[in-house]
């Protein structure tokens, strides 16, 4: 069970906000939404379900549907994502079961996700960066790995462009990002194309994200 928690719950906060908001958008009713406690840096606690995440705003607002045994009325709280200090899952086992991503990712889903990621990259870097994906030819068992990898990119590049030096380095050196499956992990920058090679097999999401960020920094 502990390994299952490590595999499914060790995701950075931004990743959780996106995952939970996407899940809520597709859910038929509120009963399947994971119940959470959000501890804020102020010390306050919000109990409820994340039903929205607006990444277009500077404060990156979370929309939380609060739950209470005493109050039957719907209470919606908006809170900046950066105010969240900790996330507690009221029922971790149920959350894993409800949020488990199907192992099979369709070519269409990968293409749609790539388009959204490109838009998010443009917002975070203020420059046009294209994803070069061989979507029609990735082996079916590797599409999920490619999808998980490209989902890391917007927050990685947002972090890399926090200062003017980072923005300048990205603007001058990266126009395309290519993702391919390889025997070993590596990252190469050539002719303004960042080539991220990923190996198959399970990886801890937060460690994989840090590895990719570290390798991008090393080639800039």
Q: What is the pLDDT of residues 37-81, one digit of tens each?
A: 999 999 999 999 999 998 777 788 999 998 765 555 778 999 999
Q: What is the pLDDT of residues 83-111, one digit of tens each?
A: 999 999 888 777 777 676 555 789 999 99
- Of 74, 90, 71, the C-alpha closest to 63 is 74
Q: ∠58-115-173 over CA atoms, to 5°?
A: 75
The structural domains of the chain, ordered by start, are: 2-99 (2.30.30.100), 107-219 (no CATH)
Q: In the block, which residue shows the tokens 């030819």? A: 137
pLDDT at 124: 85
Provide the whole-model pTM.
Answer: 0.56
- Of 88, 196, 182, 50, the C-alpha closest to 132 is 196
- Of 20, 13, 2, 207, the C-alpha closest to 101 is 20
Q: What is the mean pLDDT of residues 147-163?
A: 93
Q: Would the pLDDT of 184 be above 80?
A: yes
- Of 140, 141, 152, the C-alpha closest to 194 is 152
- Rounded alpha-carbon distances, angstroms, from residue 48 to 6, 87, 100: 23, 11, 20
Q: Would the pLDDT of 8 be above 70?
A: no
pLDDT at 150: 95
pLDDT at 204: 66
Q: What is the pLDDT of residues 121-142, one digit of tens each?
A: 998 888 899 999 999 999 888 8
pLDDT at 4: 61
Q: Would the pLDDT of 203 be above 70?
A: no
pLDDT at 70: 52
Would you place residue 15 in the very low, low, confident or very high pLDDT band (cuts 50, 70, 90)?
A: confident
Query: Rounded CA gap, 204 and 206, in Å?
Result: 6
Q: Are strands 36-40 and 75-80 parallel, antiparallel or unpaired?
A: unpaired
Q: Would the pLDDT of 143 be above 70?
A: yes
Q: What is the pLDDT of residues 18-35, one digit of tens each?
A: 888 888 887 777 777 888
pLDDT at 144: 86
Query: Rounded CA gap, 78 and 87, in Å?
Result: 16
């Amino acid at each position: 069970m502990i390994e299952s928690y490590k595999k499914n719950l060790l995701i950075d906060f931004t990743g959780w906000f996106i995952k939970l908001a996407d899940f809520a958008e597709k859910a038929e009713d509120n009963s399947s939404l994971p119940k959470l406690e959000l501890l804020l840096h102020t010390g306050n606690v919000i109990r409820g379900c994340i039903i929205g995440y607006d990444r277009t705003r500077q404060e990156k607002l979370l929309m939380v549907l609060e739950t209470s045994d005493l109050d039957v009325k719907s209470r919606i709280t908006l809170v900046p994502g950066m105010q969240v200090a900790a996330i507690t899952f009221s029922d971790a086992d149920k959350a894993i079961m409800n949020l488990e991503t199907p192992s099979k990712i369709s070519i269409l889903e990968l293409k749609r996700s790539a388009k959204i990621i490109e838009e998010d990259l443009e917002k975070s870097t203020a420059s046009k960066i294209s994803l070069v994906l061989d979507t029609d030819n990735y082996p079916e068992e590797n599409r999920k790995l490619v999808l998980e990898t490209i989902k890391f990119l917007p927050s990685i590049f947002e972090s890399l462009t926090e200062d003017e030096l980072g923005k300048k380095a990205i603007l001058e050196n990266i126009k395309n990002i290519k993702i391919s499956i390889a025997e070993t992990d590596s990252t190469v920058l050539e002719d303004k194309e960042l080539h991220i090679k990923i190996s198959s097999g399970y990886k801890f999401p937060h460690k994989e994200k840090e590895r990719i960020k570290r390798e991008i920094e090393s080639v800039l």
